[in-house]
Amino acid sequence: MSLLLVAVTILLAVGCSTTRYRESADREVYGIIQEKTPMAPNMDAEFTIEQDELPDLSECPTITDPDPALGDAADSEVGAHVISLERALAIAVRHNRGYQARKESLYLSALSLTLDRHRYTPIFSGGVSGSYDGTTRDVARLSTTGAIAQAAPELVRDLGALTGTPADLLSRYATIVNEAATLTELNQPSVEVIDENSVSGRTSFGMGLLLKGGGQIAIDLTSNFLRYITGDPRESATSALTGSITQPLLRGAGSKVAAERLTQAERDVLYDLRSFTRYRKEFTVQIASQYYGVLQARDAVTNNYQSYLAFQRSAERDRAMVAEGKRKRSDLGRVQQAELNAQNGWSNSVRNYRRQMDEFKIQLGLPVDAPITLDQGELQTLHEAGLREWTIDPDDAVEVALVSRLDLYNVRDQVDDAGRQVEVASNALLPQLDVILFGAVDSRDENRFQEFDFERARWSLGADLDLALDRKAERNSFRSALIAFERSRRDLDQAIDEVKLDVREAWRALDQARITYEVRRLGVEINSDRVEEQALLAELGQGDALNLVDAQNDLTSAQNDLTSALVQHTIARLAFWRDMGILYIKKNGQWEEVTDDVEYAAPAS
């Protein structure tokens, strides 16, 4: 039996490769996450930490003609793949390094839970040990002559009995013979040192089970084998089967106390799942914000380039008019200086755009030299769509957030955790009283180690009481648990207030973005009219150079501000949905548009 267990153990050890261990861990971890996903609405149902290779962008359209607005950098974008916002989000959720790290953190949390669950399953152990031992020992041996000499007195007495010789005469003969043997040391044995070699082995197989009520079950089977292979050949083999059950009755008793570690580990994974789900929303808003930020920088390049061209045309016109005497040279100088400033502003905007583009590539998880550019049509779509009306009341938005924010659910549940910790700490103040049941049975004899003599089994039932009169550490832990519970309640109150603040501030930011957009839109209209008016007056030789420069600069600034206001409103809208807890993220990282008729599902606990 023991040899069979040894063989099975060896085969299992050889057969389990590192790949199988990895697959086993993945299977168990992903199973835990799938099990808890329904308790975290909008969690990625196909969660995995496996990373894809860099995306194939061959299906994306490419830039064929250089954009003169980029100046010397125009040729660098020829052949670049145009990435839409949806495609950028899909790339980011698969390749962003920070996003991957957050997924791995969730995986590690669930991986830790597998060990806590494993503690409440039968845990088997086994071992085999063996040795080849060489020993020496002293053996006393008599020579043949010594054996005869030692036996001579008895032989003399036996002969005397046969021949009828008197006893006293025989005794003297025997004494003489014995003294002669002693004098010559013929009756003394000689000591020889001999080698003995033996083979010994030991096998053990055990099973332990931790019960959620605090009890423990342990079963052990051990076998010992010894065989001498030199000298006097002999062997022995014995086995023993033992088992014990320990159940606490006071301290450590009950599933609420004994399984607290497992309970907390289960809840920690749920908390991490909710946190990751909220992180997905934050991540989408962040990527969208950076995407539109790059487009805004590109739009600024276009606006500044158009401003530079406008000042160029104005300077050429004024040179001609100065030559004809229709314009002051000082006015020409003012326009020329504005042209230089516009050229410098354009150059700076190109540099700023290229820097933001490179930073965004890193954010996507792509190499900095990846040949991509962003779809300017996304910004054009925002301009054409204008602002979306949003009529929800801020107080209603707060009510929605209080029942849908996953981070707030975590804080609420942590109050329950603190309450359980108080009960666990109070249980630790009790004495330790354990009931122990023990049983053992040995093999029948040394030649039948595989057969157990259950008729001669041994068992005992007892109790172990530890009064633990020193309770200072437990007292401190209990008081600390009470303080932690009160602190958790205050943390919940603060978290509720912070959620309310987040939603109200997000609503105000959205409303301010709407006002800002309207102001910037009117500013573009006003300054466009100013530029047209000043240009017409300049052609008639009646305009003022200062007014022309101011009008053109104000128009460029208003155009840049309008794009900025549009982007800010779009991101403020996403942030408002996020802070309400109703921003739904698809598998590819894209969000679903939210209507005024808000629907939400409260997370399960």
Q: What is the pLDDT of residues 581-602, one digit of tens each?
A: 999 999 888 998 877 555 444 5
- Which conformational region is residue 195 in: left (phi greater than 0), alpha (psi within -120 to 50 degrees), or beta? beta
Among residues 414, 441, 466, which one ends one of the domains? 466
Is the per-residue pLDDT at 108 higher than 70?
yes
Average pLDDT in the 210-219 region? 92
Encoded amino acid at 57, one letter: L
Interval 461-480 mean pLDDT: 93
pLDDT at 481: 96
For 460, phi and psi rounded to 5 degrees?
A: -155, 150
Q: Which domain holds residue 337?
A: 2-52+81-120+259-431+467-580
Residue 584 · residue 84 · CB < 8 Å: no
In a domain, 59, yes or no: no
Strands 81-83 vs 123-141: parallel, antiparallel or unpaired? unpaired
**Over 1-24, what HEC string results?**
CHHHHHHHHHHHHHHCCHHHHHHH
Q: Are strands 372-374 and 81-83 parallel, antiparallel or unpaired?
A: parallel
The SS3 of residue 219 is strand
Q: Are residues 453 and 481 in the same domain?
A: no
Q: Dump pLDDT digits (tens) for 393-411.
A: 899 999 999 999 999 999 9
pLDDT digits (tens, 9 = 90+) for 137-182: 666 665 565 555 555 556 555 555 555 555 555 566 556 655 655 6
CA distance 312 to 314: 5
436 and 426 assigned to the same domain: no
Hey, what long-range contacts does 519-525 have (CB within 8 A, 24 or more apart)? 519/565, 520/558, 520/561, 520/562, 520/564, 520/565, 521/562, 521/565, 523/554, 523/558, 523/561, 523/562, 524/555, 524/558, 524/559, 524/562
CA separation (Å) from 132 to 223, 228, 373, 447, 563? 17, 10, 74, 21, 86
pLDDT at 544: 65
- What's the predicted TM-score (pTM) here? 0.83
- Of 244, 199, 243, 242, whose CA–CA distance to 224 is shortest? 199
- The neighbour count for residue 263, using CB atoms within 10 Å, is 18
Say if residue 322 is in the same domain as residue 392. Answer: yes
**Quick one: what percent of the chain has pLDDT higher than 90?**
55
Higher pLDDT, 313 or 244: 244
Q: Which amino acid is at 525?
A: E
Over residues 428-456, the pLDDT tens digits come to 999 999 999 999 888 876 556 567 777 78
Per-residue pLDDT, 532: 82
Domain membership of residue 69 (yes or no) is no
Pair 276, 237 in one domain: no
Total tally of structural domains belonging to the chain: 3
For position 170, what pLDDT does the model report? 52
Written as six digits, the tokens of 558 are: 């208003």
Considering the domain architecture, whether residues 402 and 483 belong to the same structural domain is answered as yes
Specify the pLDDT at position 600.
47
More confident residue, 12 or 239: 239
Q: What percent of the chain has pLDDT over 70?
A: 82
Same domain, 315 and 440: no
| Residues 322, 271 share a domain | yes
Angle between helices 329-364 and 85-95 (to 10 degrees): 50
DSSP state of 60: S
Instruction: Write a three-state SS string for 462-490.
Output: EEEEECCCCCHHHHHHHHHHHHHHHHHHH
Neighbours of 267 (CB within 10 A): 19
pLDDT tens figures, 527-538: 888 888 777 876
503 and 437 part of one domain: no
pLDDT digit string (tens) for 28-50?
Answer: 999 999 999 999 999 998 899 99
- Comparing C-alpha atoms, which of 206, 215, 273, 275 is closest to residue 243? 206
Q: Is residue 353 part of a domain?
A: yes
In a domain, 65, yes or no: no
pLDDT of residue 423: 95
Query: pLDDT (tens digit, 9 = 90+) per residue, 57-81?
Result: 888 999 999 999 999 889 989 999 9
β partners of residue 372: 81
Same domain (yes/no): 424, 392: yes
Rounded CA-CA distance 251/434 in Å is 9
pLDDT, tens digit (0-9, with 9 covering 90-100), for 253-304? 999 999 999 999 999 999 999 999 999 999 999 999 999 999 999 999 999 9
For 254, the token pair is 């009950």
Exposed/middle/buried for residue 187 (C-beta within 10 Å: 0-12, 13-18, 19+): buried
What 3-state class would DSSP assign to 195? strand
Residue 562 structure tokens: 């309008």
Does residue 319 belong to any structural domain of this protein?
A: yes
Convert the pLDDT of each residue in 50-63 to its tens digit.
988 888 888 899 99
Res. 203 pLDDT band, cuts 50 70 90: confident
Task: Show Cβ contacts of residue 574 under 8 Å, excluding neighbours closer than 6 positions.
Answer: 284, 285, 288, 289, 583, 591
pLDDT tens digits, one per residue of 500-510: 999 999 999 99
Asked if residue 585 belongs to a domain, the reply is no
Answer for the pair 127, 204: CB distance below 8 angstroms, yes or no: yes
Summarize pLDDT for 551-580 with one digit per residue, the tens: 888 888 889 899 999 999 999 999 999 999
Q: What's CA 603's distance to the chain center, in Å?
A: 22
Write down the pLDDT at residue 1.
Answer: 46
45 and 153 co-located in one domain: no
Tell which of 440, 466, 492 closes a domain. Answer: 466
In the predicted model, what is the mean pLDDT of the chain? Answer: 85
The answer to whether residue 598 sits within a structural domain is no
SS3 call for 251: coil
Assess whether 376 and 276 both reside in one domain. Answer: yes
Q: What pLDDT score does 3 carry?
A: 47
Residue 197: partners with Cβ closer than 8 Å, 6 or more residues away: 132, 133, 134, 135, 228, 229, 230
Query: In terms of DSSP bridges, do strands 372-374 and 235-248 run parallel, antiparallel, or are they unpaired?
Result: unpaired
Contacts of residue 491, Cβ cutoff 8 Å, sequence gap at least 6? 411, 414, 415
Q: Of 415, 445, 466, which residue sits at a domain end?
A: 466
| Identity of residue 197 | N
Assess if residue 265 is contained within a domain.
yes
549 and 496 in a common domain: yes
Residue 407's CATH number = 1.20.1600.10
